[in-house]
Amino acid sequence: MRGVLAKVLTTLCIAAGGIALASGSAAADVISPPGACTASGHFIHAGFTKKSTAYVSSDVIVVPQKDDVRWVGHELGKPIGYVGPKRPINGAIQIELPGSFGVSIWHWGSEKSPRYSNQGEESYSLPSILVGVRLKLSGFEEDNGKTICSGSVYVQVAGSRLKNPLGWVGLGGSVLFLAGLVFAGFRKVRPAYDDINP
């Protein structure tokens, strides 16, 4: 698993809440089918962790406007370093901006990947225009052309939108610009496990 479902149900929950973690009910899981994939992210500066198993898809997770996130993602419960049968993989994490405009934040894939888990660290800084705005974060992982898992959760950047009136004025005509800002707001801090151990 290249790490994006983890990254963003982890790192972007990132920016808005995909990973801020709190203990939820034992039956909670933003991933479908439950347990097929798991993701967690530790927000380093904010000092909290979020896990995909602590939320349901209708939850709104509040995250800092900027932080560094250490994320971990597992497919079928396989540990970091596990190597299994090679298969083509494909996956992505997407955030839905106001106006139902989707932006792919991460995408990964390989024709013959033996990996079933991954971890890494990402840094993000979201534009002020997103403070207080609820956004939908979703992701999926495919093996051999079949969706193994998918999931979604809502995230919200910490802060009051009332303190950001320019944001509401600018949202209507600035979706493409905003998409560029969101995409540019993420960068790799440390290489992922897959990058070091191909």
Cβ atoms within 10 Å of 157's Cβ, excluding its own: 25
Tokens of 118: 């991954």
pLDDT, tens only, 65-92: 899 999 999 998 999 999 999 999 999 8
- Name the band, by pLDDT with cuts 50, 70 and 90, for residue 11: very low
pLDDT, tens only, 123-181: 888 888 888 888 898 999 999 999 999 999 998 889 876 655 555 455 444 444 455 55
Smallest CA-to-CA distance from 67 within 171, 157, 193 is with 157
* Spatial separation of the C-alpha atoms in residues 98 and 65, rounded to whole Å: 17
Predicted confidence at residue 8, as pLDDT, reads 41
- Name the band, by pLDDT with cuts 50, 70 and 90, for residue 198: low
Tell me the residue type at 79.
Answer: P
Instruction: Give the rounded distance of the alpha carbon of 4 from its chain centre.
Output: 6
- Name the band, by pLDDT with cuts 50, 70 and 90, for residue 13: very low
- Residues 59-74 as b/e (b if ≥16 CB within 10 A, e otherwise) read bebbbbbebbbbbbbb
- Quick one: average pLDDT of 98-121? 86
- Name the band, by pLDDT with cuts 50, 70 and 90, for residue 44: very high
- Name the band, by pLDDT with cuts 50, 70 and 90, for residue 12: very low
Smallest CA-to-CA distance from 81 within 189, 190, 197, 3 is with 197
Q: Which residues contact 171 (CB under 8 A, 6 or more apart)?
A: 98, 99, 129, 133, 178
Average pLDDT, the chain: 76
Predicted confidence at residue 27, as pLDDT, reads 55
Decide if pLDDT at 46 tops 60. Answer: yes
Instruction: Report which of residues 10 and 149 the model is more confident about.
Output: 149
Burial tier of 42 (Cβ tally within 10 Å: 0-12, 13-18, 19+): buried
Q: How many independent structural domains does the chain possess?
A: 1
Q: What residues make up the domain containing 91?
A: 4-196
Decide if pLDDT at 7 tops 50. Answer: no
Q: What whole-number percentage of the chain has pLDDT above 70? A: 70
Tokens of 58: 């209708």
Smallest CA-to-CA distance from 101 within 180, 195, 47 is with 180
CATH code of the domain containing 175 = 2.70.50
Smallest CA-to-CA distance from 3 within 124, 91, 126, 130 is with 91
Instruction: Report which of residues 188 and 1 the model is more confident about.
Output: 188
Tokens of 164: 């950001």
Predicted confidence at residue 106, as pLDDT, reads 81
